[in-house]
Amino acid sequence: MAQHPSWWQTNVIYQIYPRSFQDENGDGIGDLPGILSRLDYLRWLGIDAIWLSPIYPSPMADFGYDISDYTNTHPLFGTLADMDKLIEEAHKRDLKLILDYVPNHTSDEHPWFQQSRASRSNPRRSWYLWSDSAPDGGPPNNWAGFFGGSAWQWDTKTEQYYLHMFDAKQPDLNWRNPEVRSAMYDVLRFWLDRGIDGFRVDALWMLLKDEQLRDNPARTVWGPCDLLNKLQEGQYTEDQPGIHAIVREIRSVLDKYKERVFIGEVYLPVHRLVAYYGEMLDGAHLPLNCQFATNRVWEAQAIKQIIEEYEAALPAQAWPNWVLGNHDMPRIASRVGREQARIAQMLLLTLRGTPTCYYGDELGMEDVDIPPSLRHDPQAKYDPDNTRDRERTPMQWTKGPNAGFSIPGSHLWLPIAPDYQTANVESQSQDPHSILMLTRALLTLRRSSSSLTLGSYRTLAQENINCLAYLREHEHQRYLITLNFTDTGQTVHMPLEESGSILLSTQMDRVGNCNLSAFNLRAHEGCLIELS
Ligand code: GLC
């Protein structure tokens, strides 16, 4: 651990899905002034950094992940002046602001693509990936799009196919073209110059594709990282040779500025995931570690294995990070249940490394069943049972109309969860036993404790397979965390000499001295214990 840790090592990141956080102008869609009005809430909660999903001009085929102008804001969200104000007000409160950067593809309405598709001889033709058809007239190869169907779209005007690993309205950029890279680095600089503190880089592991366009093999094995692409292995479309040189280039742009963070979206098995730190730690600062979300087994032994394998795989000095969920996967409370969602919060906020919290998880927000006629997600076109709209519903602020997300009577882009009258910030902040107050207490403890922010991690060997126990230690401070993953009471025999004092229970109802040689955890209970 460096002498002076960077802010992104000690901070807690909070992901905001801007369409759903707070709507100020009453159009039913969240916006930048809305986010501004909630900065004090985030500070109250104990958050230090915000990551905004895309806020750029976009036809919204993939809700902002299809960008038609990288250096502006979508009028739905506000103006560049609103963005500048948000940066300023966030910084005044000592909050960092991280933007989503989507380099793999633009919108088909981006001027670059409009030029690229205008003719085969257009200077921007090679900014995207074009190919002739196969001899039978079909797509050049078998590559499947993440949202379903072929990843190739026929263009009638110029009689070639273009590649789109996501929706047909999201053509993939050609990252082997130095002009593309240079233009995309200018985008980074545009925002860095405005004071943005870093980027979460979308689909980082997918930026290069096989130049020979070889067929991907069919998927035979189902691993923990098969979140999106279910049909085939990404052998020739993901994690390609040469990707790490590009990752280094992106990093070098950020390194020209003081203390900006590079977070990478990477869904790969752990050994390939950690390669994105770079051989000399000159890659992403934080390749996102979503293993708790992609591995769907919520049991003490499975969680223990994930932590230990990840800790062992991390390159020396690489800084870990943990994610429970995001806008692409079912919410944690829906995956593990309401009670276990508290265990998940304690786990996320007490492990070694930077946690990323998804908005609303602090309330235990759950997925919402969205009727087919109200679904928007392009993924739902091909896989209706797998719509990501469910985890993107409006933030629940109050028990009043529209849950305080928007003004009364406005028509919301997605419905509010049916439980909003109990699961909302206003009600839970008045209930000392709520998951919101638990999250806040965890964040407060984390902030004040060097063992939680900087300390080492060690699993404690104990015999109860239903529970996980681990130590976080820094200098003289020693914390023990023990979590019960089941719905029955459990006893954990802790092989420790010290005496313990409970600082926090996930049920928010007990503190004080405890017996570590036979420590009783109630159903779904986790405890944070100070050793002395
Ligand atoms: C990433 C985003 C996801 C989006 C996709 C295409 O995986 O998280 O929401 O659909 O990239 O940009």
Report the pLDDT value the prediction gives residue 486, as an integer from 0 to 100. 98
Residue finishing a domain among 411, 439, 467: 439
Nearest atom in ligand 1 to 228's CA: 7
Q: For residue 245, tell me if it sits in a domain.
A: yes
Judge whether 390 lies within some domain.
yes
Pocket of ligand 1 contains residue 205 by CB under 6 Å? no
Residue 290 lies in a domain: yes
Do residues 142 and 236 both lie within one domain?
Answer: no
Check residue 382 and give its pLDDT: 78
Per-residue model confidence (pLDDT) at position 225 = 47
250 domain residue, yes or no = yes
Instruction: Tell me which of 65, 207, 265, 267 to substitute to probe ligand 1's pocket, judged by most ligand atoms within 8 Å of the beta carbon.
Output: 65
Q: Is residue 130 part of a domain?
A: yes
| Ligand 1 atom nearest residue 62's Cα | 10
- pLDDT for 410 equals 97
Amino acid 228: pLDDT? 52
Residue nearest to atom 3 of ligand 1 (CA): 328
Residue 36 Cβ inside 6 Å of ligand 1? The answer reads no
Contact at 8 Å (CB) between 433 and 422?
no
Q: What is the mean pLDDT of each run of 10 residues along the chain (532 residues)?
A: 83 98 98 98 98 98 97 98 98 98 98 98 98 96 92 98 97 98 98 98 98 92 55 92 98 98 96 98 98 92 98 97 96 97 98 98 97 90 86 98 97 97 97 98 97 98 98 97 98 96 98 97 98 96
Mutate to test the pocket of ligand 1, among 62, 110, 200, 358 (most ligand atoms within 8 A of CB): 62
Q: Kindly state whether residues 45 and 30 are assigned to the same domain.
A: yes
| The dihedral sign for the CA sequence 246, 251, 254, 260 | positive
Do 242 and 285 fall into the same domain? yes
Domain termination residue (choose one: 439, 464, 498): 439
Same domain? 375 vs 514: no
pTM to 2 decimals?
A: 0.97
Q: How far is it, in rounded angstroms, from Cα 17 to Cα 55?
A: 9
Q: Is residue 481 part of a domain?
A: yes
16 CA from centroid of ligand 1 (Å)? 14
**95 is written with which tokens?**
């909050």
Q: Is 483 in the pocket of ligand 1 (CB under 6 A)?
A: no
Separation between Cα atoms, residue 200 and residue 458, nearest integer Å: 29
Cα distances from 96 to residues 90, 111, 155, 198, 305, in angstroms, run 6, 31, 42, 9, 32
Task: Please report the pLDDT score of residue 229 as a whole number.
Answer: 54
Task: Assess whether 94 and 116 both reside in one domain.
Answer: no
The predicted pLDDT at position 383 comes to 79
Q: Give yes or no: residues 346 and 469 share one domain.
A: no
CATH of the domain at 47: 3.20.20.80
Total count of domains within the chain: 3
Question: What's the pLDDT at 222?
Answer: 59
What is the reported pLDDT for 296? 80
Nearest CA to ligand 1 atom 9: 328
- Separation CA 367–CA 344 (nearest Å): 16
Q: Which amino acid is at 397?
A: W
CATH at residue 132: 3.90.400.10
Task: For ligand 1, pick from 288, 328, 381 the residue to mutate: most ligand atoms within 8 Å of CB.
Answer: 328
Task: Out of 405, 439, 473, pick the residue that ends a domain.
Answer: 439
327 Cβ closer than 6 Å to some ligand 1 atom: yes
Q: How far is the CA of 374 from the centre of ligand 1 (A)?
A: 20
**If you take atom 5 of ligand 1, which residue's CA is the nearest one?**
65
Ligand 1 midpoint to CA 354 (Å): 21
Q: Looking at the structure, do residues 212 and 347 belong to the same domain, yes or no?
A: yes
Domain range spanning residue 502?
456-531
Active site residues: 202, 265
84 and 38 in one domain? yes
Q: How far does the centroid of ligand 1 lie from the alpha carbon of residue 175, in Å?
A: 18
Instruction: Show the DSSP H helices in 154-263 as ranges.
Output: 178-193, 243-255
**354 and 320 housed in the same domain:** yes
Residue 32 near residue 82, CB atoms below 8 Å? yes
